[in-house]
Structures are given as C-alpha cells and as structure tokens.
Amino acid sequence: MSDVHIHRGTWSGLAILGLITSIIFVTIGCTSGATPPSALDKGSPGGAASTSGQRASLTGAGATFPYPLYSKWFDEYRRSVDPNVTINYQSIGSGGGKQQITQRTVDFGASDGPMSDEELQRAPGILHIPTVAGAVVIAYNVQGLDGGLKLTPEAIAGIFLGQVKKWNDPLIAAQNPEVRLPNADIAVVRRSDGSGTTNILTDYLSSVSLDWKSKVGAGTSVNWPVGLGAKGNEGVAGQVKQLPNSVGYVELAYAEQTRISYAEVQNKAGNFIQPTVRSTTAAAAGADIPADLRASIVDSAGADAYPIAGFTWLLVYQEQTDYGRGQALVNFLWWALHDGQKFAADLSYAPLPDNVVRLAEEKVRSITFQGNPLLTVQ
C-alpha cells in the first residue's frame, strides 16, 4: 500500500520539478531570443545602411580584449543605423568564442588568435574577419627611469627567457647609453590567466627568437621559463607598479589608462618605435596577409610599424542558416569595417589599414544564404 504511494508520489514530484525547470528554460529562451518590443516603436532614422525592416537578434561570444569597442559598436549600430538589430555579446574569452561558433550556438564568435587548422577542420566554412588591431607594450618599473627605455628583440627575448637577469646587462645597456640602469635583478611579471595578450607577445617572441620558439612557443597560456603570474592586465600592471625593478606586458589601452612606463621596441626595419594606435595600424599595413586573413602581424616589415601587435577577429560561417539573421550580420560587419572604424582610436584600438579593409570586404561579400550573397548595403 505505502509502496504504491511512494512511487506515485515520487513520480509526480519529479514531474513538477521537470515542469518548473522547463518553464525556467523556456522563459530564458524567450528573453534572449526575442527583440524587446521597444525596438519596433522607434522608426528607422534611415542611416547609411538601408534596413530590411525585419527584427533580428544576433548573439555573439568570445574575446574580452575588444569587448569595450564591440559594446560601443553594438550600441551605436542599434541607435544610429538599424534599430531592428539587437546584438548580444558575451565576453567569455577567445577559447569560448571559438568553441561556441564551432558548435553553432552563437551567430558569431570573436577571438584574439586565429583558429588553428585542426580547429577549422571541425568547423568547416568559418571565415575570419579582422575588426581592429591591438598592441602589447613592455611595461617596466625601474627606479630613476621614467620613460625612454629602448629594447631590442634580443633583449626582450632574453628577459622573458630568464637569460638577461640584470637591468644593466649589456644587451639592454648598449641601446640606452643616456640612462643609468641599476645593477638589480629583473623581476618578470606575466599573465597567469589564458589571454590573447599573451598570445600576441609569445607569437612575437617566437618570431624573433629561435630559442623561445623551441623552448616555449606561442599560445594563450605557455610554460613560462621565469616570472610570477598575475591575473588580468590590471594584475600585471599592479604588480609591475609595486615590484621594484620589474618588467611585464599589458595591452596598449590599459597602459595608457594607468600611466605606467613602457618601452620603445626596435622593429624589423631597425627603428625604435613607441607603441601607439598609429604605429599599430602601420604594423597591420606592413604585414603579409594570407588569403584567409589569419594573419600574424608581429615583427611587421613597415618602417613605422610597432612590432608587438595582433588582429582581433570575428568568426562567422560563410553559409548562413537563417536569412534574416544572416543579412543583419552581414550588414553589421560591413558597417563595422567602415563607419565602425572611427570609434576605435578613442578606445586605443588601432583601426584597420585600407589594404586589410579591402580584403575583409571580400570576405563579407562572400557570405551567403542558400548560395546567394546576403550583403545589401554597399
């Protein structure tokens, strides 16, 4: 008798639980899937792009590095170009962005590093659209030295390999005759979390130092020969400021905000270049760009190019599976490559040089739905 009660009771209990969970999920699904009705009320101001009049809600996920710019873009695009398009972006990191676009759970992914051949095999038909470039600066804290430190690629590789141990090492001192460098140990600070910033720096070190390439390599996290790990740009900047005689690396935008001292770096042409938005764009312009745009722009050949720089990309499928969303996505990408670029410099991101914009345009034009091109604005 009581057995029957137990079973019936348990099952109805489970059924209620199931019901509650499904209600929760359905509700979440609705809120993230639908555009808020307010988007309908506002008329289109008739910006540069023509709008299809279809409401579309795009989702994207990935890199944290370009997030401030992307959120500005999404906001600006909806306010002044197409009020029907809402774009939701989760800055979960480049790894997550690649994973989610591979599993097609988002309309676009975002990454600071290109997908590897192996990753592309699992997600055939993905295009890499570069959006902006960023620079990584070598920040330092040396007593009595407020700026003007010049570093060669050999010195930087030596420092991060642990072979250049003192600030007055001849490799550093030779390029800085006018500064008095202390006879002090160099404390290296690096990122502890996986990061696109680390990827750009290690990519650079791998291309200027065979030793680095064979011993450590490039990646979002690597097995560092020396150095203490701090979390995030803010963690590295904080430690460099605290620790006497330390050196670290942070994004240009971050270094400018925190007024930390950073070095001029000798580029391939032999010039010492101050990292700026302009010299980062020059790096992109001077680099060899492969057909699939998975370009590394470190150690670029341009005379004014700052050598430690990298693109950040949006990852989209060439063949879209939904007409309305596909069209909204393509029109947004076109806008980002043109009108969107003017928002970059204010936030310390480097706009794309013209040659790269031309190449990226081709990629956006090639996006299709059932074989037909989707781009409606020109």
**Smallest distance from other proteins to CB 361, Å:** 28
Nearer to other proteins, 113 or 302 (CB): 113
- Between 189 and 328, whose beta carbon lies closer to other proteins? 189
Residue window 111-150: x/- pattern of binding to other proteins, with contact defined by CB under 8 A: --x--x-xx-------------------------------
Per-residue interface string for the shown chain with other proteins, residues 1-40, x marking contact by CB under 8 A:
-xx-xx--xx--x---------------------------
Closest distance of CB 250 from other proteins, Å: 16
What's the one-letter identity of residue 95? G
Residues 218-247 touching other proteins, rule: CB under 8 A, are 218-224, 227-231, 235, 238-239, 242-243
Place of tokens 């873009």: 73
Query: Closest CB to other proteins among 76 and 119?
Result: 119
- Tell me how far, at minimum, the Cβ of 375 lies from other proteins, in Å: 31
Backbone angles phi, psi at 170, to 5 degrees: -55, -35
User: Is there a contact between 198 and 190 (Cβ–Cβ < 8 Å)?
Assistant: yes
DSSP state of 345: G
In angstroms, the Cα distances linking 135 to 89, 99, 305 are 23, 25, 11
Report CA Rg, the chain.
Answer: 24
Nearest distance from C-beta of residue 67 to other proteins, angstroms: 13
66 lies in the site for other proteins, by CB under 8 A: no
Q: Which is nearer to other proteins, 239 or 276 (CB)?
A: 239
124-147 burial, b at 16+ Cβ within 10 Å, e below that, comes to eebbbbbbbbbbbbbbbbbeebee
Figure out which of the listed residues 187, 301, 345, 375 binds other proteins, where binding follows CB under 8 A. Answer: 187
Q: How far is the CB of 119 from other proteins (least distance, A)?
A: 7
Q: Where are the alpha helices (DSSP H) in the chain?
A: 2-33, 38-41, 67-80, 94-102, 117-122, 153-161, 170-173, 196-208, 210-215, 232-242, 252-258, 277-285, 323-337, 354-365
Cβ atoms 134, 251 nearer than 8 A: yes
**Both tokens assigned to 328:** 């909204």
Say how many residues touch other proteins, by CB under 8 A.
43
Where on the chain is the footprint of other proteins (CB under 8 A)? 2-3, 5-6, 9-10, 13, 92-96, 98, 113, 116, 118-119, 185, 187, 192-196, 216-224, 227-231, 235, 238-239, 242-243
